[in-house]
Amino acid sequence: MKRHTLKYLLLFAQIFGINHSIIAQTPILERPISLKVNNISVPNALEMIAKQGSFSFSYNSEIIDVNSKIDLVIVNKPVLDVLNRIFKGTFNYKVRGQYIILQKNEQNQETKSFVLTGYVVDYQSDKTLSKVTIYDRKSLSSSITNQYGFYRIKLSPSELPIRLTISRSDYEQGSILIKSAQTTYQDVHLKPIKREINFNPPIEDNSIEKMDSLKSLKPRHEEALLTLPVSPNAFPDITDESIFPTSPIFDSTLYESRWDMFKKRLGKVLVSRSQRINAQNIKDSLSRGFQFSVLPFLGTNRLLSGSIKNDYSVNLLMGYSGGVRKLEVGGLINGVRRDVEGIQLAGLANIAGGTLSGVQASSLLNIVGHNDGGLQLSAGLNTIIRESSGWQIASINFAHRVLEGGQQIGLINICDSTDTTPVGLLSFVGSGNGYKRLELAVDENETVSFTFKTGVRKFYNILALHYNFLRTQEVFGLGYGIGRAYELGRAWMFNTDLTANVLVEYDEISPNVATLWKFDMMFEKQIAQNVAVTFGPSIKYLMINQYNSVYWKTTPFSRIPSFEPLIASENSSFWIGFQMGIRIRSR
């Protein structure tokens, strides 16, 4: 019997120790209190609260009326909530060690400000809610509930009356109307957003009886997180603290997942956590004519910058806003969460998560989610994560898909598919409608050529490598060109290619250099799924570099061509040759 008693005592001590440890780790003002008293004095009530919460109160006895009596019924509420119920927001509470210091709340006459405090609570479960935004549309004052659901927002009497908006992405929006400049305490209850669950009849049972039973069912509702709207400007989940929103309507491809990762990392570096949470919570469309910022978290848009669309923005170093209507100028970086309708000018980079229908211009980088008839200009890189019906002009252009009306002009163009013709030194188009060929061919001079063609059928780029090892003096060549392919049907195609090639012939003393212009007219016949043979005539014009003639020991590029050319001189030759080979084709 004694053994069992000792066992229970040890178990009780262990449980008590665990509970005491949990209480000790919880901030004093957030420790849960349960209390039921009737007609008790305030000092006695404070003593009971302090004993249950394992702390002490410190206050001047003159500020509390010892004769006042109170009635309280509290079940598992934070100490702060209990104190506000007792003092109605007329006291301030400061924590020093294991003490709560009570101070009479007096309005600041210099700043003429007052404070609203309270908890945001789930309407159904009565649980406190963290990461809830409380804000004023006019003054842009804002606050976010902490992990215990508590908020504190400072307001100005000059803005009265004030309607505060309470918003979280997965809850219906609430509001508080404030008519007097008094520091007070007020709890707010929010209702979860509900979605309708549709019933689909099972395929295996479509009998009349089963269908009639399904018709009699009424749609039921259940609590759920906010359903993301199907649009490029959809709000992400509250746990996704990215600088910009993510759209659910596009496939999760590799580059888009990297874009999401980039947005999250960039947001955590450049934008404060409060700004990210506010941007995800706020459902209203906020606007301001002008904003100025030094850094994304230091500007006139305050902590609501990610939800505010500005007509004009000036960012000394870096800025962050919800959108641009007319003009945004940044010393280094401009960051916009949604759409750019006007002009963005940045020293280094412009980044927008929504749609561009205006202009982005920078020296290094432009990034936008979707280009709707806009223009990107950069000496470095232009990137469109999704679709583009606008223009890109830069050293390197990248887009997921280029629609009709869109255009890429640059040294290097990259896209998954395009409805137009990219123009550049090299254009890489993916499996959508890209044209790619790897070709191994031989010509009338017994020169072996290895060629890579990339772009689209209407216009592609050509990179060529030539080598002739059968001659007494070996010839090596590099070439670049452009071409077009024509569909003939029944696995036949026809190409017209124009290339410029630099040929080098190794002489005994110094290499001989020449330029070979080629115009190839080649037929292609598909013989397997990704294999084709090619053949056709070539018009060629060879120009020999005359400035090295004093070093020549033999006739440069002799027997090129191996037959009598149509036109020949000491430094040039013109003839018609042929070429045949095999190709590996993309489609």
pTM of the model: 0.74
Q: Which residues make Cβ contacts (< 8 Å) with residue 497, sequence separation at least 6?
A: 453, 462, 481, 482, 483, 518, 519, 520, 522
Question: Measured between alpha carbons, how far is 491 from 333 in angstroms, rounded to an integer?
Answer: 51
Query: Which among 395, 361, 398 is positioned nearest to 380, based on CA atoms?
Result: 395
In CATH terms, is domain 28-104 a member of 3.55.50.30? yes
Strand extents, DSSP E, 204-304: 221-223, 286-295, 298-299
Reading the block at residue 136, the tokens are 């004023």
For residue 158, the model assigns a pLDDT of: 87
Q: CA 328, CA 366: separation in Å to the nearest integer?
A: 14
Q: For residues 375 and 146, what is the distance between their CA atoms, to the nearest angstrom?
A: 42
Q: Is the pLDDT of residue 398 over 50?
A: yes
Nearest to 29 by CA among 149, 167, 144, 172: 149
Residue 17 has pLDDT above 70, yes or no: no
Q: Is the pLDDT of residue 240 over 50?
A: no
Cβ contacts of residue 564 below 8 Å, gap of 6+? none
Q: Are strands 407-418 and 423-429 parallel, antiparallel or unpaired?
A: parallel
Mean pLDDT of 31-58: 87
> Looking at the predicted structure, is the pLDDT value of residue 197 above 70?
no
CATH fold, domain 435-585, is: Porin (2.40.160)
Angle at 382 between CA 380 and CA 383, to 5 degrees: 140
| Architecture of the 114-190 domain | Sandwich (2.60)
Instruction: Tell me the average pLDDT across 541-562.
Output: 73
Cα dihedral across residues 45, 46, 51, 53: positive or negative:
positive
Q: Which of 7-16, 25-34, 398-407, 485-494 has the lowest mean pLDDT?
A: 7-16
The predicted pLDDT at position 51 comes to 87
Tell me the pLDDT tens digit for each residue of 132-184.
Answer: 999 999 999 999 999 989 999 999 888 889 999 999 989 999 999 998 888 78
Say if residues 353 and 336 touch (Cβ distance below 8 Å). yes
555 to 353, 466, 511, 524, 550: CA distances (angstroms): 63, 21, 12, 36, 11
pLDDT for 254: 63
Cis omega (within 30 of 0) for bond into 565:
no
pLDDT tops 50 at residue 513: yes
Range list of H helices, 293-409: none
Mean pLDDT, residues 237-255 taken together: 45
- What mean pLDDT do residues 171-199 have? 83
pLDDT band at 256 (very low <50, low <70, confident <90, very high): low
pLDDT at 246: 41
Across the range 256-264, mean pLDDT stands at: 70
pLDDT recorded at residue 228: 33
Q: Return mean pLDDT, the chain.
A: 83
Radius of gyration, alpha carbons of the chain: 37
pLDDT of 450 above 50: yes
Q: 576 in helix, strand or coil? A: strand
Least confident of 119-123, 260-264, 384-388, 501-505: 260-264
| Cβ within 8 Å of residue 384, ≥6 positions away | 356, 368, 369, 370, 371, 376, 392, 398, 399, 400
Burial 534-571 (b: 16+ CB within 10 A, else e): bebebebebbbeeebeeeeeeebbeebbeeebeeeeee
Q: Which of 446-455, 554-563, 566-575 has the lowest average pLDDT? A: 554-563
- Written as one letter, the residue type at 325 is R
533 class by beta-carbon count within 10 Å (0-12 exposed, 13-18 middle, 19+ buried):
middle
Alpha helices in 201-241 (DSSP H): 208-215
Each domain of the chain, given as residue ranges in start order, spans 28-104, 114-190, 254-429, 435-585
**Residue 499 — very low, low, confident or very high, per pLDDT cuts 50/70/90?**
very high
More confident of the two residues 243 and 101: 101
